[in-house]
Structure 1
Amino acid sequence: MEAEPTTDLIRAQLRRLRLKAELSQEEFGKLVHFSGSQVSAVELGQRPLDRFFLKRADEVLATGGLLTSLLKMAEREGQPSWLRPWLDAERDAQQLWCYHPTLVPGLLQTEHYARTVIRADDMLSDDEVDKRVAVRLDRQAVLGRPQPPKLVAVIEETALRRADESFRGLMAQQISHLLQCAERPQVSIHIVPADVAVHVGLAGPFTLARGGDGGWVGHLEDQLGGTSIDQDNDVAILMARWESVRSEALPQRQSAELMKDVMAQWT
């Protein structure tokens, strides 16, 4: 669901900037590759806000990215209440430790992989899938900021091999992306080899974030959403489990070699 106060602001700003540029809806539509009636529908709230449209509008109106930035804000506001505290912690983190037993962690997913994973929920409309993919990719921007957090990710080898022939190209692209990410000085990726049959992490995915004040918070995911963890005792348990999971994983160099071997299988 759109965050109405912010999306109303976007529509108002779009109209104000268009009029300031002395462009009719028809004239503006030609510049952004939309019809005049489509521009009118966007401004009146009769058509959902579209990232491509707003990106073109920012370029044509020379806004410095104002409209797309406001859309990202609206999408953040539109997230469920249980997720917002974690988004704040993730955005401000200086360190991030993440583990997932069955998937590549969201901060390291390609768009194609993220879309495939999200679309697996057949209760979601195409529009909702697009919004969730966009939010997931926006969250990855934390890794590209001037002083990015130190990210340590632990991934199961079985998660990299868990696909059939129809996903051959998707998995090759995803593992290639992981290898590229692992070359960044602030990113460490460690693989738990498939011959480690049982360990405590298999109980479920979790992430830990350390903020600027040195405090840690955690995040647990489940079928209905997720929970932010900030009680000291609970955080201590997650940190102990992280150390246990991390100890089962291979060092960085060996992890990279294993990823290359798996990628060769998919290519």
Structure 2
Amino acid sequence: MEGEPTSELIRAQLRRYRLNAELSQEEFGKLVHYSASQVSAVELGHRPLDRLFLKRADEVLKTDGLLVSLLKMAERDGQPSWLRPWLEAEQNARQLRCYHPTLVPGLLQTEHYARAVLRADDMLSDEEVEKRLAVRMDRQAILTGPTPPKLVVVVEETALRRADEGFRGIMTQQITHLVDASERATISVHVVPAEISGHIGLAGPFTLARDAEGGWVGHLENQLGGTTIDNDEQVAILLARWESVRSEALPHGQSVLLMKEVMRSWTI
């Protein structure tokens, strides 16, 4: 859910900028392609805030992206309490190590793949799916910032091949994105081949983040959410398990060749 204080701030700022621009709700609505009644509903809180509206508002009112930035803040504030410590660690990380036995890790998911993953939870409404998707895509911004962390991702070949005919278009796009991402100097993608029948990583997904001072924090996902791990002994266990998982994966070049082979296999 939107953080209420930030949400009210956004609406107040929207109205203030509109009035400063000497635009009526009807005049402003025409510029952002909304009706006057829709603009009124947004300002009064009767209509949910959405990015498209606020992006157009930022452009028309020349706010330098303020309204969208405030919405992102509200969405972060609305994240569950168990996730917030990890989001902070992720934002401040100088190095990230991600492993998932069944999915492509979120930081390298395409929008279409991420939406499909989120929609698999039939308890989420379409609106909630889109909100969570927006937050997930925002988290990826750390990879293209001025000082991106070094990201090392390990994925399973079986996760890449899990695609029926209707899902292969999305998976082709996703694997192409992995190949392209692995060409960046700050990103490494490695694949555990399917013939590796068992290893410690199959017990569950985990991510490790190292901050600028060299300290590590871990994150474990589960069906009900996740847990941030900052206990030194437990972090040491996760670091050891990472080394074990990473040792099972192929080197960079072979991983890229395997990902391309997976895509080719669908066209034969």
TM-score by length of 1: 0.99
Aligned residue in 2 for 1:28? 28
SS at match of 2:148: coil
Give the partner amino acid of 1:21: A
Aligned residue in 1 for 2:151? 151
Give the partner amino acid of 2:40: S
Give the partner amino acid of 2:48: P
SS at match of 2:241: helix
Aligned residue in 1 for 2:264? 264
Q: Which runs of 5 or more structure 2 residues have no equivalent in the other structure?
A: none
* Structure 1 residue 212: Cα displacement: 1.3
Aligned residue in 1 for 2:194? 194
Distance verdict in 2 for CA 1:203–1:58, change over 3 Å: same
SS at match of 1:47: coil
Give the partner amino acid of 1:15: R
Deviates more, 1:257-266 or 1:197-206: 257-266
SS at match of 1:217: strand
Provide the C-alpha distance between the structure 1 equivalents of 2:211 and 2:70, rounded to a whole number of angstroms: 25
Aligned residue in 2 for 1:240? 240
SS at match of 1:71: helix
Residues 3 and 75, structure 1, Cα contact 8 Å, conserved in 2: yes
Aligned residue in 1 for 2:132? 132
Q: How many residues align?
A: 267
Provide the C-alpha distance between the structure 1 equivalents of 2:54 and 2:85, rounded to a whole number of angstroms: 27
Give the partner amino acid of 1:98: C
Aligned residue in 1 for 2:40? 40
* Structure 1 residue 199: Cα displacement: 0.2
Aligned residue in 2 for 1:51? 51
* Structure 1 residue 263: Cα displacement: 1.5
Give the partner amino acid of 1:42: V
* Structure 1 residue 67: Cα displacement: 0.4
* Structure 1 residue 149: Cα displacement: 0.1
Provide the C-alpha distance between the structure 2 equivalents of 1:76 and 1:235, rounded to a whole number of angstroms: 25
SS at match of 1:29: helix
Aligned residue in 2 for 1:171? 171
Provide the C-alpha distance between the structure 2 equivalents of 1:95 and 1:89, rounded to a whole number of angstroms: 10
Provide the C-alpha distance between the structure 1 equivalents of 2:27 and 2:261, rounded to a whole number of angstroms: 54
Provide the C-alpha distance between the structure 2 equivalents of 1:221 and 1:49, rounded to a whole number of angstroms: 29
Aligned residue in 1 for 2:110? 110
SS at match of 1:208: strand
Aligned residue in 2 for 1:185? 185
Provide the C-alpha distance between the structure 2 equivalents of 1:86 and 1:17, rounded to a whole number of angstroms: 35
* Structure 1 residue 266: Cα displacement: 3.4
Give the partner amino acid of 2:32: V
Q: Percent identity?
A: 76
Provide the C-alpha distance between the structure 1 equivalents of 2:266 and 2:202, rounded to a whole number of angstroms: 25
Provide the C-alpha distance between the structure 2 equivalents of 1:33 and 1:181, rounded to a whole number of angstroms: 36
**What whole-Å deviation, never above 9, does each CA across 1:182-229 have from its counterpart, x for those lacking one?**
011000000000000000000000000001121000000000000000
Do structure 1's residue 69 and structure 2's residue 76 form an aligned pair?
no
Give the partner amino acid of 2:229: I
Provide the C-alpha distance between the structure 1 equivalents of 2:126 and 2:10, rounded to a whole number of angstroms: 22
Moved over 3 A (4+): none
Residues 169 and 266, structure 1, Cα contact 8 Å, conserved in 2: no
SS at match of 1:241: helix
Aligned residue in 2 for 1:121? 121
* Structure 1 residue 265: Cα displacement: 2.4
Residues 171 and 266, structure 1, Cα contact 8 Å, conserved in 2: no
SS at match of 1:53: helix
Do structure 1's residue 14 and structure 2's residue 14 form an aligned pair?
yes
Provide the C-alpha distance between the structure 2 equivalents of 1:133 and 1:219, rounded to a whole number of angstroms: 20
Provide the C-alpha distance between the structure 2 equivalents of 1:228 and 1:138, rounded to a whole number of angstroms: 20
Q: Which runs of 5 or more structure 1 residues have no equivalent in the other structure?
A: none
Give the partner amino acid of 2:147: Q
Provide the C-alpha distance between the structure 1 equivalents of 2:142 and 2:71, rounded to a whole number of angstroms: 17
